[in-house]
Amino acid sequence: MATQAPKTLLFQTEGAVSQYQSMSENTDSLNRAEATALESHIDDLITRTSQALNTAGSQTTTSATEQAMLRKFRERLSTASEQYRRTKLRVQTELDRAELLRDAPRQDEGGDVSVAMDDLMRERGHISSASSMADSLVEQAMTTHDALEAQRTRMGASRGKLGTFDSLLDGTKKVMDKIAWKKRKNMIILGTVIAACLFFLFWWWIIFLFFEFFNFSL
């Protein structure tokens, strides 16, 4: 079944994203190495799932029901990718914040974060927002590109079927032309035979009249 491979990969992707979201909720135990490893795994799953969906969608034997299922899988993959992107941004922000807080100088005994630290965090927030927007635009462009590629493949398959249909029509037209020519040929032969018969009857009638006239004269 064409949808089995992308379905399996999609379930794995959604499970990994859910695990990543659970990790992001435990801010006190966040670890950059673990987060990076899980992010690499999710990136790989998203890429493989997208490729599997494109491959399944490009198969000419895929039924209409399977195509509908593949569209739903693409929507679920897009949702999971968006959740992963937002969670990744939150995790990166929390990890950077934790590192900055750990290394930042203190103003007084109360342990307040310095003004420079606040400015740095705000700047980091602006950069993260801009990066998030850029990632979102890139993801939308890639999704649109994948959809166009799948559509182009289906259009190519349709053109191939139309070409086969045109060939069948050409063959049928040639057969019909041969049948029409055979009918015309038969009509010509029949007309020739009838004309010959009429000519023979007319000639016989002339000869008959000639002998009748000759006998009458005698």
Question: What pLDDT is recorded for position 40?
Answer: 92
- The residue among 128 and 105 whose pLDDT is bigger is 128
Model confidence at 122, in pLDDT bands (50, 70, 90)?
low
Interval 40-79: pLDDT, tens? 999 999 999 988 888 887 776 777 888 888 889 888 998 9
Amino acid (1-letter code) at residue 205: W
Query: Angle 32-58/4-25 helices, nearest 10 degrees?
Result: 160
CA distance to 59, 141, 182, 186, per residue, from 146 (Å): 15, 9, 54, 60
Output the pTM of the full model.
Answer: 0.49
Most confident of 54-68, 119-133, 138-152, 195-209: 195-209
Is the Cβ–Cβ distance between 20 and 38 less than 8 Å? Answer: yes
The model's confidence at residue 108, banded by pLDDT at 50, 70 and 90, is: very low
Plot region of 195 (φ>0 → left; ψ -120 to 50 → alpha; else → beta): alpha
The upper half-sphere exposure of residue 36, i.e. CA atoms within 13 Å in the direction of its Cβ, equals: 4
